[in-house]
Structures are given as structure tokens and as C-alpha cells.
Structure 1
Amino acid sequence: MKQKTVLTKRLFGWAVCGVGLFACGMTSCSEKDAPVSYVLQQNDISVDEPEEGFVTQLSQLFRIEVESVSDEGITYVWALDGEKIPGGKTLEYMFSVAGTYELVLTVSQGELSFDYKFQIKVVSEESVPLPGDATAYITKVLDFMPAVGQFTNTMPAYEVGDTQETMNRKVLEAIGNNNRGLISLGGFGGYVVVGFDHTIENKKGLCDFRVLGNAFSAASGSESDRLQGGSCEPGVIMVAYDKNKNGMPDENEWYEIAGSAHQDPTQEAWYQLAVDNGNDVNLYRDYEITYYRPNETMNAPLASPIDEYIRWEDNQGRSGYKVKNTYHAQPYFPQWFDGEKLTFRGTCLPQNGIDESGEGNYYVLYKFRYGYADNEVNTGNAAAIDIDWAVDADGQKVSLPGVDFIKVYTGINQENGWLGECSTEITSVEDLHLLGEEIPVKE
């Protein structure tokens, strides 16, 4: 049973000035203060608090909803044991250490202010187990749409009659539940959306999850030994916290993980090498590319490459064709998709592929410093992701208690000679906390 709790702690006062009401100090009221139609009262704020007090558990979402008579001119500030934490009228937080905490809500309107204190008891995971014996791995695939690529329709394999639901199931069979198969996202924009049987907790100071791919380091003796490269095909990562608990990622719940190139591409160790090579080293935050379905005759087995196989156009005024090579003769356009053109949008990263031989026979794809999928060998700490790197559409940092869904899409539009297009590959996603791995966030 819950009871309505109203706590009052601090009141500086209010006064009537001129034709309106103002939140003022005790001594005076400035003429320049704007009138408001509502003045905060001490009993206008309430919270439903259980009779036994608030009890929550480690690695599970703790949520408080504040009820108010009005929100006009009101601010809500939360502090946990004296330290401010993000939150507004709704507080969502996940605790990483068991114990008893003091939570204080400060509600203010101008100089008028009240404090509301709560005690929060956090119990261990042993006391209240995670629901359903939670697993550290992917348990659902919500969507999969690769872009044009030499492994599209083969990783996983498309069969005549397969639908979107069929392909989603095949992806889950490949990379879900720690199966460690491999899927390809094709060229820029191709994506997969996965979910879990629990919320991956955002722990302060620690990386929270890892996206596994098939990146590897270059052979000894190359320039890549110094700059760290080999086969790195970075995928941009997006995260969603299921705030409304409807079991799906809504459009307004997605945020992008801002990796190192999001912050400053010029700081990548290989940046000048890419400039000298003539690569496009710009970061396009609102990039868009459209691929057009090829003529069916081009999907037949071939003895030589087709240079003008699949036409593409982007919103930077560029266009061209994707090549079909002799190594992969299947259709490169996803066959279960019915449309004549396929459009992807997202952040396009600087081109990281360099032909170090100068003759088209030795390409090195360099590693970004952090924050992307299929960018680091799976055992490297740079493969781990901190949820606190999430930003909104304006590039502003957001605070999430955890994430329920992850989307990965190929982040580079580049052809690398005989290697073909840059295409992100995924083999798994892991909750580092459930695995007991503590990887500190690199400052």
C-alpha cells in the first residue's frame, strides 16, 4: 500500500507586487520580475511513497514520479547523498552498490524553494534476483536491414520466400544468446536492432556493454602497426531506454553513442595519412544515401566484375555505382525488401581505408580511438562502450539509467579496392556488468 507523502523543508517566502504574484526574497521584490499566475505552495508537491519506504535492488531501475499542482516556473533538482544526479519531474536511476541512501528533491520557483527527503534502501542481487535469470547476451532481434554489400543475402543466407520476420529470426539464431555467428550490415547505413531480457545498467565510471565484430590487426611491418589498423569497419551505435515500458524502442527514445570521431576526427592518429591519401575525412552528421535496385540480369553468375552494378546517390551531391566482384556472385541488394530503392540516414564517419601498397593490393582500415562496433579486436578494452557517451540529435549529452535496445549501422561509405565496401560485421553484444567485467572509462 502506498501513501501520499508531502514533505516541506525550506521556504524563503512570497509577496504580492503590483498586479501579479511573484516568487521573491524576504526583503524586497524587484519591479523587473515577471508576474506569474501561479505561486508554489508547500503542499503542492507530492510523491506516492510506500508505507515501508522505498526499496529497490542493484542493477534494476528505480523510478519516482512527482505530482504537482502546476509546473509554471518550477525546477526539480535531485541529490543522492549530497551529490546532484540527473532528473526532472521523473527520476530514473540504477544503483550499483547496496546500502541505504538519502535522496533529496529540491523544488524551486524563483527564490522560493522546498526540500523533500526520502530514504532509499538498495538490496543486493542475491536478495532480489533479476527477472527470468537474465542473460548477458542478445535475446531478441527487432529489425535487420543490410545495405548493398558483397555479403548481403549470405550473412545470414536469404532463401526464396523469406520475409523480414524470417530474416530477423535468422539473425537471432546467428548472434543471439551467445551463439557467436556472424552477420554483415553491408555498406553505409545497413543496420540491426537488438534487445535484451533486462536493462543494461549505466554504471558511473565503467563501460557498460561491448559489441563484438570481426576486426583484426594488420600484419607486422605495415604503417598500421604504429597507428593501429588492419580490418576495422566501424559501425555507429545507437541506444534506447524503454522509458514508457511498452517493450519496443520508440523513435524519441533513440540516442547515438558519440565515439572519438564524433568529438574530433582530426585527433585520430591516422587522420593526416587519410588526408594525404585523398580520403573524405569529413564527419557528416545528417548523411543520407539511396541505393537503387539493379536490373535482374545483373544478378546472374558472372565471369568478370560489374563496375556499374548498383547506382547510389547521397545528399552531398555525389553519386556513383557499387561494384559487383567475382568473389561473391549473389545479389547484393537485400532480396526480401520489396522497394525499388533503399535509403539510409545517419552519421557518416571519415574514410579510414588506405592502400598502403599504392598498387591496389594491400589495404589497411585504421582503428578509431573508441566508441564504435567492429573497430577493435573483441578482447581489446576499446571495444567496450559507456552509455554516458550517448548524445541527442543536437549532439548534447543525455543521461540514461540504462539501455534496453541497441542499434548498430555501418558508419563509413567507402570502397576499398578488391576488398570491396566497408561493411560492419557483428557477432554478439554483451552486458559487461552481468559478465562481471569492470572496464574503466578511459578519460
Structure 2
Amino acid sequence: MKSYLKSTTFILIIFLVLGSIVTSCGDDAPEPYLLQKGDITVNVPAEGFIAEIDQLFKIEVVSVSDEGLTYEWFMDGESVSKIKTFEYMFDTNGVYDLNLVVKQGELQYEYPFTVKAVFSGTPPPPIEGASPYITKVIDYMPAVGQFTNKLPKYEEGDTQEIMNEKVLAAIGNNKKGMITLGGYGGYVVVGFDHTIQNIKGKRDFRVLGNAFYANTNPDPDAPEGGSFEPGIIMVAYDKNKNGIPDDDEWYEIAGSAHEDPTKELWYEKAKSNGNDVNLYRNYEITYYKPDENKEPVKDKDQAYATDAEYIKWKDNQDNTGYKVKNIYHQQSYYPQWATGDELTFRGTCLPQNGVDESGKGNYFVLYKFHYGYADNEINNKDDAAMDIDWAINSKGQKVNLPGVDFIKIYTGVNQENGWLGENSTEISGVEDLHLLQVDIDTRK
């Protein structure tokens, strides 16, 4: 009996010891990793993240563990990467919202950052003998207008290339001739034999037009006005040095109405006149090629009109109508070298600045914007000159361009002004102020 008890006791002791060992091993097993927000860290420089245009940019992420984790990067709300280390090449100047989303099962944490993409360095100075004037015309397509096919003159058989050459002959190399851009959206793209430098605190180039002041405005208390047909200016820096303006290289010069149209001195006058005084940043208009042989539809109420339903148009603001042909210009108003049966233009549309001050349809005044537009000031005045630092990107952010190689100008207002016809920007040249040694301070 004693022998049986001893062996039973021995077995029980072994069982307890083994059980203790098993229990001890179970207590020491590691718990599954559970993500905490502080487990993810990113070293942000004191000046913030700054990326150089067209250079590989990286953000390294440090994590306590990667067990069960997924990483996804979003830029301005759009997914751009699903790897831990962020790698990207920015091609457009601006400030970007970057958001890292880290997930582990149902757990999710977000880490927001901003990245400023900038150009590095400065362009080389112009070589000796560089011209301060337009040396090439990249493209020219006016919208419909009373001077289209006249300035410059279209001749049957002229191609786009020939029309570009005619534009260069008119406004290039300091010729100071005149071309029309027609109604809203019509444009010209010009280039130079060097990069126009962006000098801080100074205006960098001047756009020549044919603006002038009214001599006898019926309203003696009216702000500055006359014939001001503002064109919006776009600039491009040839960052890849391929000799052409690529789509991602364009930036818009932001004039006074870009900042706040209501601060234009004529704003309330134009509003009371029934003008559309809004600024549209994504405006679009389509003109339809007319049948030049159809019988004109005359406007009985306005003697100047020879065809009140000449060229049909519609825009993306639910507006539609016709461009009128007047008795003073009888040629086709539709660019004759354009292919297809319609023309569509897109861009920023400025408030309508034309007012019939006579109230009888015989004295229209087109009022001057504060600054920042082509054909919006007499050529020898400071506000005919532009500062490259006024350029903004598509998000409205100011950009820091080292200079510009190409300039695009397009008519910025969609408006008819009685017998005067459509608002149409006219251009007679562009000048590099620095090469001409003209010193004009920027606006304060």
C-alpha cells in the first residue's frame, strides 16, 4: 500500500511539474502585433518637404513593425502609390496635399503632409545678340470676329503654317504690325530665342496692343475706360529644353480680376448694365462654322447689323446665341484655314467690361481692368508690362518660375458691343524688358 501511494505521489508531482512548464510556456508566447498611430514616423525637414521639378522625390517611412500593414499614398485625394517608401516625380510647380494611409485589418491611421514642388536654379543668361522680341510663332487660331481673316489677311489656300508665318511677319522682330485674336478664346502662341528672366521685384515683359482711352465719355464720373479688350496671358518655362511648350508647362498670369472682380472700379456700373460680371475659371465656348451663302437675317432694330444670326455659339454656362456680322466688315468672320465645322476654346473668362454709356447704342466704353492683361493699357504705361511672379497654376497657387520661353495670349471676354462688335484682343508684339534695359517695379 505504501509503495502504491509513493508511486501515485510521484506521478502527480511529475504531472504538476509538466503542467507548470506548459502553463509557463503559454504565458510567455508573444501577443500578435497591434498597430498604434505612433508606430509610424516620418522625418519632416524643418522647412517642410520640397521637391524639385522632374527630379525623383522620396519620403522614407519608419515603422515599429510591418506585420499585417498596408501602405497607400494619396495626392490631392487621388491614390498615387501603394508602397511604403513614397517615390514620385513632380512635373508641375505648386503645393500638394499628400496623405499616407496605413491599415492593419480594421485599424486605419492617416498621416497628412504637404509637398512644395519648385524649379531649382536659374536659367542661363541670354547669349550675346539675343533678340528682345518675338522670334517665332508656334500657333495662331483666332476665334470668330470682324477682323478675323483680315489681321493678318487670309488668302485662299493658306495653311496653318502659312498663317503662323504671316503672324510672325506682322508682330515678330519688332515689326509692330497688328493681329486680331477675334472673340473669346482666340489665341496666339509665340516664342523667343532665349529665356526671359524672372527678376524679383521687377516686371519682366511687355505685351503690346492697341488699347486707348475714351475722349468724351458721357459719364464724367466714370473710371478709366475707352477701348480695352483684355487678353489673358499664359507663360511657359521650357523645363525639359525640348524647344516646344508642353501641356504641363503652362501657367496663367493672374491679373486683378483673378484676385477679386468686385474690386474693379467699373464693377457696379457693369453689373447695373446687366453685364455678366462673374469670372469663370473653366469656361468653354464652341463656335459653329456658318454657311456663308445663306440669306442674312437682318436685325430690324439695329441698322448696323447685316446678319444678326451669322455664327451660332454656345458655352458651358447654358448660354447660346449668334455672333453678328456688321456692315463694316463683309469677309468671313470664321478662320478659313481651320479644319472641321466647329471651334472650341477653353480657359478663364473675365467679367464683361463694355457699357453703352449713351443708352442709344452709339457710344460704347470698354473699361480698363486694374492690371495683368494684354491690350488693357496704352503700350507705354507700366501696366502694359507683366511680372512673371504673377503666374499661378491650375489650383490658383502662385508659382516660382525662373523665366519663360513661350507666351500665349487669348481673348478673355465674351461680349458684343453693338456697332463696335465683339471684344477682341489685338496684339502688336511682346518685349523682353530686361534685354531692353527697361526697369519697371512690380505692383506692391
TM-score by length of 2: 0.73
Q: Does 1:266 align with 2:241?
A: no
| 1:131 alignment counterpart | 127
Q: Distance in 2 between matches of 1:366 and 1:93?
A: 40
Contact 2:204-2:386 within 8 A present in 1 as well: yes
1:285 maps onto 2:281 in alignment: yes
Deviation per residue, 1:102-153 (Å, 9 max, x gap):
xxxxxxxxxxxxxxxxxxxxxxxxxx97325111100000000000000000
Q: Tell me, in whole angstroms, the C-alpha distance in 1 between the residues paired with 2:39 and 2:147.
A: 63
**CA contact 1:147–1:333 (8 Å) conserved in 2:** yes
**SS at structure 2 position matched to 1:290:** strand
Structure 1 counterpart of 2:322? 321
| Runs of 4+ displaced beyond 4 Å | 63-68, 87-91
Report the CA distance between 1:347 and its aligned residue: 0.4
CA positional deviation for 1:442: 1.3
TM-superposed deviation, 1:35: 3.4
Q: Which runs of 5+ in 1 are unaligned?
A: 1-17, 20-30, 41-62, 76-86, 96-127
* 8 Å CA contact retained: 1:224, 1:366: no
Alignment CA distance shift 1:66-1:173 (3 Å): closer
Q: How many pairs are equivalent?
A: 349
Does 2:145 match 1:149? yes
Are the counterparts in 2 of residues 288 and 344 from structure 1 also a CA contact under 8 Å?
yes
2:205–2:433 Cα contact (<8 Å) kept: yes
Task: Provide the rounded CA distance (Å) in 2 between the counterparts of 1:327 and 1:34.
Answer: 76
Cα distance in 1 for residues equivalent to 2:270 and 2:37: 57
Determine whether 1:179 maps to 2:179.
no
2:377 aligns with 376
Could you say if the C-alpha distance between residues 175 and 224 of structure 1 is closer, same or farther in structure 2, counting changes exceeding 3 Å?
A: farther
Q: Return the alpha-carbon distance in structure 2 between the equivalents of residues 224 and 142 of structure 1.
A: 44
Change (3 A) 1:91 1:275: closer
The answer as to 2:238 corresponding to 1:242 is yes
Contact 1:155 1:183 survives alignment (8 Å): yes
Larger helix share, 1 or 2: 2
Shift of the alpha carbon at 1:296?
Answer: 2.8
Q: How big is the shift at 1:398?
A: 1.0
Residues 129, 199 of structure 1: alpha-carbon distance in 2 compared, 3 angstrom cutoff: closer
Contact 2:305 2:324 (8 Å CA) reproduced: no
Q: Distance in 2 between matches of 1:220 and 1:194?
A: 36
- Change beyond 3 A, Cα 1:435–1:167: same
Alpha-carbon distance in structure 1 between the residues aligned to 2:232 and 2:43:
47
Alignment match, 2:12: none
Evaluate the alpha carbon distance shift between residue 64 and residue 230 of structure 1 in structure 2; reply closer, same or farther with a 3 A threshold. closer
Per the alignment, residue 439 of structure 1 pairs with: 440
- Deviation of 1:403 (Å): 0.4
> Given that residues 264 and 369 in structure 2 are in contact (C-alpha distance below 8 angstroms), is that contact kept between their aligned partners in structure 1?
yes
Which residue type is aligned with residue 92 of structure 1?
S
Would you say the 8 A contact 1:184–1:424 is kept in 2? yes
The 5 A counterparts of 1:76-91 are 91=119
Question: Matches of 2:53 and 2:235 in 1, distance apart?
Answer: 23
Paired letter, 1:386? D
Equivalences for residues 344-363 of structure 1 within 5 A: 344-363=345-364
Equivalent residue of 1:33, what SS?
A: helix
AA aligned opposite 1:214: N
Distance 1:299 1:440, change over 3 A: farther
Task: State the superposition RMSD in angstroms.
Answer: 2.8
User: How many percent identity over aligned positions?
Assistant: 63
Q: Does 1:94 align with 2:122?
A: yes
- Is the Cα–Cα contact under 8 Å of residues 218 and 358 in structure 2 kept in the other structure? no
Residue identity opposite 2:365 in structure 1: V
Describe the SS at the equivalent of 2:121.
strand
Letter in 2 for 1:33: G
1:215 aligns with 2:211: yes
Q: Which has the larger radius of gyration?
A: 2
Is the contact between residue 224 and residue 230 of structure 1 (CA under 8 Å) also seen in structure 2?
A: no
What does 1:54-65 align with in structure 2 at a 5 Å threshold? none
